[in-house]
Chain A
Amino acid sequence: MLDKRLVYVTGKGGVGKTTVAAALGLAAARAGKRTVICEVAEQERITGAFGHEPAGFTETEVAHNLHAFSIDPEQAKQEWLRHQLRSGALAGLLNQSRIFQYVTAAAPGLAEVVTMGKIWELAQLQRRKAEAAPYDLVIVDAPATGHGLALLRAPRTFANIARVGPIKNHAETIHSFTTDPKVTAVVAVALAEEMPVNETIDLERRLADEMGLRLSAALVNGVLPERFTNAEAEAMASLDGAGSTAAREALTAALRAHDRARSQRSQVARLKRGVEAPVSTLPFVLTPEVGLEDLESLSVEVERKL
């Protein structure tokens, strides 16, 4: 996986995509790859996770060999225009035009296509600016499944709309890069719960149907330890109602933890049956905010399992 040039991390909302992207980034950097983690949300989280100030549209080194970058579609659009027109002056002219601002700010899908364009640019060995050093690997902390797919599809959508001309050519180039399994991998993050599992199964199918892409791996995040055996659970359940209030509370909590771990196990099994991609699990992290140490240990786990 880390030998690709682009790893696209998506999955249902709230499953920990950012954490997994950060762990993947650390693993790659440790393996000697010059890596950038690319965020596409309004709120920047990667720099903060590594104890840095938000850096926005500036490639910032957050750990040895590891960089963070957050794509602002407006800035990506301007960069693309300057490049497309090969002239800062012409781009400036367009940008001063109220009509142009109006139409491009409103044009549905334009933000997505320039975002994908910037992701593609980061992954090129020959960067747009001669002084920009190339990366071995770009990890995208992508939006949740539906929007993540729409983002991935955006270049094709735009190529279809444009039919011919420079936009079409550029969009086709991006599309063929992001759908080439030799250079691009898609990773789904899930939780061991009903809906995230469904969404992951659905994602694999839609990737194949809509883009001809294979899901490279599914990572189940937050998997609880299986602390109790079934026999132990039975022993606890048979004590029904015995003991002090505190003891009863402790036993109830234990039985619920057992139930939850068991239900997680069956959801992981269901996911394994439901997708062709290899499924691995990551342990539940107990600390309140996932910190650098947790990221380090998760990255070791990720490296071992992928």
Chain B
Amino acid sequence: MSPRASSGVGNLIARKEVVICAGSGGVGKTTVSAAIAAGAAVRGKKAVVLTIDPAKRLANSLGLPELGNEERRVEMDADGELWAMMLDAKRTFDDLVDTYSPDEQTRREVLENPIYRQLSNAVAGSQEYMAMEKLHELHQEGNYDLLVLDTPPTRNALDFLDAPRRLARFIDSRSLTFFRASTKMSMGIMGRGTGVLFSVMKKATGVDLLKDVAEFFNAMGDMTDGFRERAERVDALISDSRTTFLLVTSPRAAAIEEARHFHRKLQSEGLPFGGVIVNRMREPVRAEPAPELDSELAGMLDEKLAGKVARNLAEHRLLAERDALNVDRLGERLGRKPILTVPELSGDVHDLAGLAELNTHLFAPGALQR
């Protein structure tokens, strides 16, 4: 028997093909992403979770080797299927070059170019770019009902959106034209303005750097159109109504602040925002500190321990109330968009059983608050 498909987070992902889990670091984004995909699989869908850097124990339990760049089926008892992949940014980039190289020589020239090697390997932003690329590729192939992207941890909320655009712009043909002209190294061929500009740039960077850059762009040659079109299609995909962004946050003040910032940016970019998942909420306590409770505890335990239990309760209450307050503050900003809260579980989630436990909250009927 498969559980009701449309409870809790199920409501937010119904009729969606792409779910992008975004949020600041340390809030449990990877775990929530994996849980959503697992939950969809239990509900009969063929779902895949794309993750960047899962905790080793979670990766192991999902059967992911350290650096695979292909989806793998995760063994689980479900009507649908759960697949997972761990993204390798460099491999994805190399694969793209393979796809767009007109011939073997170009392919080799690009792959061996020092600029390309640094670009694909070491540079911040390429991971984000490649995450979006892979998402797009899997969506094009159409083998899955649901794609869940666990976005890379970034300090600035939407880096993972801006980075692909920046990188695509860098490879864009307009800068290409300029650098191609510069290889001719002749003021006569370049316009006069460009010639002056180029000589100033040379002074700032050194000739070899410019030459390498020019060679890089030359080697990229006609590929750049492919890259640009692709970046445009990625943009189209993430703005599509079949896509939804879920913000994952913890209820702590700093994370909530980040989530509000994030929400504003999603809105200003006109991206489809589905709702917020607040992870690790401290469970509310109904019991109030009272003399009767103190004396009841003192009757059950020795006096010193009873005192500690009472103080612990007061502290827990304070923290739980603060969590609730922070979530309310976030809610005020969201308009009619839902918030879903998940209580702090007793241990770290690092296996399928843990994901299933998380899902009893994520997919719980009535879990959405508006």
Residue numbers of A with Cβ under 8 A of B are 12-15, 40-43, 81, 84-85, 90, 93-94, 97, 99-100, 102-103, 105-109, 112, 143-144, 146-147, 150-151, 153-154, 157, 160-168, 191, 193-196, 198, 227-228, 232, 235-236, 239, 242-247, 249-251, 253-254, 256-257, 259, 263, 286, 288-289
Contact = CB atoms under 8 A, between A and B. Distances in A.
B313 A249 contact: yes
A196 B26 contact: yes
A256 B316 CA distance: 10
Interface of A (DSSP majority class): helix
Given A97-B197, A108-B119, A250-B293, A227 B308 contact: yes
B239 to A, nearest CB: 21
B350 interface: yes
Given A112-B124, A168-B206, A228-B308, A250 B153 contact: no
Interface of B: 24-27, 53, 55-57, 114-115, 118-119, 122-127, 152-157, 166-167, 169-170, 172, 174-175, 178, 194, 196-197, 200-201, 203-209, 212, 250, 252-255, 261, 285-288, 290, 293, 296-297, 300-301, 305, 308-310, 312-313, 315-316, 318-319, 322, 346-348, 350
A165 B206 contact: yes
Contact of B208 (A12, A40, A164, A253): A164
Given A106-B167, A250-B309, A254-B313, A157 B152 contact: no
Given A108-B124, A239-B300, 19 more contacts: A12-B25, A13-B25, A15-B26, A42-B155, A42-B156, A102-B174, A106-B167, A109-B118, A144-B154, A160-B114, A166-B205, A167-B204, A167-B206, A228-B305, A235-B301, A249-B287, A250-B312, A257-B312, A288-B253
Contacts of B126: 108
B309 A251 contact: yes
23 contacts: A14-B254, A14-B255, A85-B200, A85-B204, A94-B197, A94-B201, A99-B194, A105-B166, A108-B119, A143-B155, A144-B25, A146-B127, A147-B124, A147-B153, A147-B154, A160-B114, A162-B209, A194-B350, A228-B305, A249-B287, A250-B293, A250-B310, A253-B309
A232 B26 CA distance: 32
